[in-house]
Structure 1
Amino acid sequence: MSDRAVGVDLAFHTSALPVAPEGDALAPVLGRLRELGYRRAVLPPLDPAGTDAASLRTAFERADLAPIAMVGLAPGQDVSSDDDDERAAGRAALLAAVDLAVALGADQLNGVPYGLFGKPATAPGAAAFERSALVVGEVADRAADRGVQLTFEVLNRYEEGLVNTAAQAVEYVAASGSAHLGVHLDTFHMAVEEADLAAAVRTALPHLRYLELGQSGRGDLGSGAVDVAGVLRSALAGGYTGRVGVEAFSRALMPGAVADALAIWRSPYDDGLGLAERALALVQHAASGTPAPHPAVPTQQEARR
């Protein structure tokens, strides 16, 4: 097995690959990711009731790769709502996601536990912020008791309205009252909301538990408007020792409904494992301080657009 990403605890998001999150289908891909040098793979949000956790866990164990689980809330489960029953439903959904993470053997649960995915019709107020933080903080403490780190991803304004910046994320952690809640920053979203990406990482650093690398066009990390390597170098130089993730999306490799929900209209790459290999090389160069590799050549279908 390769150790090419020496010094970086690197994860790859399986949504970048044309494979269902099921044990038998995923197993060969997990093995290849481990051979490349990844230590973890991120699963999409899964239905706890409909997931064969034992099969998935076995696939990860055989690949010597650790899973990271994800959570999202459905309509009627908004923990920022002023409706007591809706908040209770959201809390129950979050706890069920913790149960699933434990069953999968995951020690981290990422995602959007603080509200509903999607651009809000109106600006969320301070009361919604406080209501959400209290519920998520309680769940983070319950998760920590079971060996699971709960994090929340900071999304851009077009995908969520409650927490959009690193500074807001720090305020949210404080409002939660939890010593266990972690922040998840993603360079794709940061490029929309932050004036200085490196400064945003420094702001969140005491609570940062997952730094995700995503490019402006959702494709190869080395081809886009975001200085992904620079952000990573700055984070490592500032003392970040946590997990680093790679995320990309290509419509050609995704279920249509998922691509629609994430507004993935194009196909910037057609080989998820090839992208994973190129991303690992970029991370290796950034971590070692050597010049980054040249950007990847666009796929044929992307070049025609």
Structure 2
Amino acid sequence: MNLDLDLAFHVSIAVADPTPAALGPLLEELATAGYRRAVLPPLDPAGTDAAALHRTFAEAGMNPIAMTGQRPGADVSSDDHAERRAGAAALRAAVDFAVALGADQLNGVPYGLFGPPGRPTPAGALERAAREVGVVADYASDHGVMMTFEVLNRYETSAINTAAQALEFVEASGSDNLRIHLDTFHMAIEEADMAAAIRAALPKLGYLELGQSGRGLLSTGAVDISGVVRQTLDDGYEGRWGVEAFSRPLVGEGAGDMLAIWRAPFDDGFEQASDAVRVVRRGWAESAPGRRAHRLSRSAG
């Protein structure tokens, strides 16, 4: 019985430089394993051959998910008008790039700078970011792209750390199109009750990423990933899922430094992908939708 979930794999798990040549074999393996999508890291729209990546995904029968962010001098949370405008322009360019890739989803951290915060994010910065991101989310929707924003842990941002804060950000954005991206790796640090947090976010949840406490195989670590899948499906989630893990030799030194990936919890990205499918399948099979699919398949047989 096939896994009936819309599952994505972050390519940085397996390759540091997502060129068409590097991605082609990986995407074919992922499609065979049961993945429908693959997430690209943040790429420079001006310096990337979007058409070539589009062809690579199409040839493998896979769908891309693009990613974006902000940088100093182009930050929608800034109190400087020119800097906010530059940040919003960068987000719109990321939407256009996603369209050129053939992606209908744009992930990332569009609400401010990524990295150790050092201080609380001022309320005014969040309000400014919400307004700008909401406008871009509507722009994305007009172009067939779902824009999400990831909720990170306290060591990567002080802006939005919990599902409750994410819901407040969506409300402040004024957009009906902006969606929340939750990640069990971050939630394991920040949420007192992960299941309750996911349940609360369901009306605006567009993407639920599955990551282990140690960034390694989903079958190892402190988070019961199969249990999360089962409970979330039982609670009625029908959106997309992602798999994320990082190993320093595979992600590369630059991304490894940025994400604080100092170890190598695995050395084979496809092994990680296969392990993740087994863990997710177990949770799906134990859920109400999975049990129902099993009954229907037996009846059809």
Q: TM-score, normalised by structure 2?
A: 0.94
Q: Which amino acid is 2:157 matched to? A: E
Q: Provide the residue aligned with 1:111 in structure 2.
A: 108
Q: Provide the residue aligned with 2:19 in structure 1.
A: 22
Gaps of 5+ in 2: 288-301
Q: In the alignment, does 2:115 pair up with 1:90?
A: no
**Equivalent residues of 1:67, 1:104 under 8 A apart:** yes
Alpha-carbon RMSD = 1.0
Matches of 2:16 and 2:28 in 1, distance apart? 13
Q: Which amino acid is 2:267 matched to? A: D
Q: In the alignment, does 2:91 pair up with 1:76?
A: no
Match of 1:4 among 2, 24, 27: 2
**Equivalent residues of 1:45, 1:69 under 8 A apart:** yes
Q: 1:222–1:16: structure 2 CA closer, same or farther, 3 Å change rule? A: same
Q: Secondary structure of 2:157's match?
A: coil
Matches of 2:252 and 2:47 in 1, distance apart? 18
Runs of 4+ in 1 over 2 A off after TM superposition: none
Matches of 2:247 and 2:146 in 1, distance apart? 29
Q: Provide the residue aligned with 1:49 in structure 2.
A: 46
Q: In the alignment, does 2:227 pair up with 1:230?
A: yes
Deviation string, structure 1 residues 14-61 (Cα, Å, up to 9, x no partner): 000035211122111101100111000000000000111011000000
Q: In the alignment, does 2:4 pair up with 1:35?
A: no
**Equivalent residues of 1:4, 1:36 under 8 A apart:** no
Deviation string, structure 1 residues 173-197 (Cα, Å, up to 9, x no partner): 0000000000000000000100010
Matches of 1:280 and 1:204 in 2, distance apart? 24
**Equivalent residues of 1:30, 1:41 under 8 A apart:** yes
Between structures 1 and 2, the one with greater helix share: 2
**Equivalent residues of 1:72, 1:111 under 8 A apart:** yes
Q: Provide the residue aligned with 2:246 in structure 1.
A: 249
Matches of 1:257 and 1:42 in 2, distance apart? 18
Deviation string, structure 1 residues 148-181 (Cα, Å, up to 9, x no partner): 0000000001001111000000000000000000
Q: Which amino acid is 2:128 matched to? A: R
Matches of 2:119 and 2:278 in 1, distance apart? 42
Q: Secondary structure of 1:230's match?
A: helix
Q: Which amino acid is 1:70 matched to? A: M
**Equivalent residues of 2:98, 2:105 under 8 A apart:** yes
Pairwise CA distance, 1:128? 0.9
Q: TM-score, normalised by structure 1?
A: 0.92
